[in-house]
Structure 1
């Protein structure tokens, strides 16, 4: 088998935003799992992000596939989930999911004497765009001489979620992709001031309700800021051909992280790390939070002040994590 590998990541802003949410706001997937899989997690469970690189054997080669989100929720019984994000329906989606879940199952499986047990994760797809013909459920059926096994793949569609529904169900994870619910209206309303003002009002309402969620301890300041930054990233991409819409909505989303906000985020991050008993020392937690602040656009000078270190030290931390 050749050692050649091919990366199949698309690198779109939607992919980047989704993976950022999975990596940096992993706890926000719990309400989404409850919604999609009919679970009843409290929200206090530990969530462990799993490696998203899997090597799939092909003829004379090995392909490196990057899954969007694989994670385990700890509980009475640990459950592993594969949650993929797809911008449009794709006939190859089920093939890729099957390849992923089998590879994950093998990695998590066990062999005892002459018996191998493969633990297949539960799987779902978030469709950012969908049509009337997009199925509400999907299924993979494995047939063998001893019988068949049906493997369900749950489907979540952005078009089904209003802003009220997202906040009522605490599906904050979906907020960066909310603009997809309006995409079909862009061409028709690109010169419509009244429509644009209504859209701006929706995003102002989103910001207000995010602030309320922080005050009510439903969200950390860091999660709020990451949601806002990823929302802006998706907005700028999806409205690239519609300058008035892009400028109108982006203008309400705010700018750089403010100094007091940076300090609040920093304190929350360190406190959360200590509460969860992470193995890294306090200094490493400070370093990691500094890099996260940098990644959401915080000026290095503000990070240095919040961390109580020199600007040069912060630059060294950033360089070490981006090398």
Structure 2
């Protein structure tokens, strides 16, 4: 699901046949006092097709003064991770970086820029920004930007009070999420996504909703009744049956890969696999780590 997002941001033309290799999200940055500080990036990976390119994406609720500094720190460390010393020459390649803004205003920039003054000259590179709120449900499905679905609720954040207190407005929001759910079902029927992908998108959507709308019980219940409540039993049975018919290992591998592609933390993925396949935590951890790409 990440390839259409990369195509949208960078104007690439990836088809889905490329190989994606996720890098470790933990990086240790060297400090001036000699100590190391651990920093976790949202997503760092490389795409291998006709050429090989490195990418680094960050989700950001809003812009802040430290954002560019973090991008430079992460980019430098990612470049050093794959750096190559050839005699007296150090060769490093910075990743193509982008920020996904969950919230934006009229003052939110479309492009961030880093400028580095070196003894050999000045280097500048841009970091494009994707503003999630600007995409309608129709555009998300037309462009196959399914990665954005869990964050689509941010587009309605300024009207949470109205949705929570007025049935008519809430029904309009529920219709929107009915469209999302039905569109996912259509993609499943057409074979363009699998059951694991659909269920993971819905699960991530519910988690984001739980966090962002925690003060709005009526709104949460209304959306969850559409996206989650009616499919929980079906979801569990479908995934378990898929594990039985296709082999439990294949099911665990598929679910692990989808969770990682969506940026789900390792610990959450271990918990999800344990619940879906009836495993204890230690067994689930061992199996997930078999397929988790570092």
TM-score by length of 2: 0.85
* 1:76 aligned onto 2:28: no
Q: Say whether residues 1:211 and 2:185 are aligned partners.
A: yes
C-alpha distance in 1 between matches for 2:287 and 2:18: 28
For 1:172 and 1:197, the matched residues in 2 are separated by 23
Q: For 2:255 and 2:61, how far apart are their aligned partners in 1?
A: 32
Runs (5+) with no aligned partner, structure 2: 260-268, 290-294
Partner of residue 104, structure 1:
78
Structure 1: state its 5+ residue gaps: 1-27, 271-282, 305-313
Q: 1:180 aligns with which of 149, 154, 163?
A: 154
1:169 equivalent to 2:143? Answer yes
How far is 1:188 from its partner? 4.1
Say whether the 8 Å CA contact 1:225–1:296 is kept in structure 2. Answer: no
After superposition, the Cα gap between the structure-2 partners of 1:170 and 1:247, relative to the gap in structure 1 and judged at 3 Å, is: same
8 Å Cα contact 2:252/2:288 also seen in 1: no
- Shift, 1:187, TM fit: 2.7
1:277-318 deviation digits (Å, cap 9, x = unpaired): xxxxxx854664687897448856xx36xxxxxxxxx33622
TM-score of the pair, normalised by structure 1: 0.78
Partner Cα separation in structure 2 for residue 72 and residue 162 of structure 1: 28
CA deviations over 1:65-104 (Å, ceiling 9, x no partner): 0000001111111111000001121111010000001110
Pick one of 215, 220, 238 that aligns with 2:212.
238
- Counterpart contact for 1:177–1:234, Cα < 8 Å: yes
- Once the two structures are superposed, residues 171-201 of structure 1 have per-residue CA deviations (whole angstroms, 9 ceiling, x without a partner) of 0000000000100111344312111000001
Please tell me the root mean square deviation across aligned C-alpha atoms, in Å: 2.5
Q: Structure 1 pair 253/284, CA: closer, same or farther in 2 (3 Å)? A: closer
Distance across 1 between alignment mates of 2:244 and 2:189: 15
Q: For residue 4 of structure 2, what is the aligned residue in structure 1?
A: 31
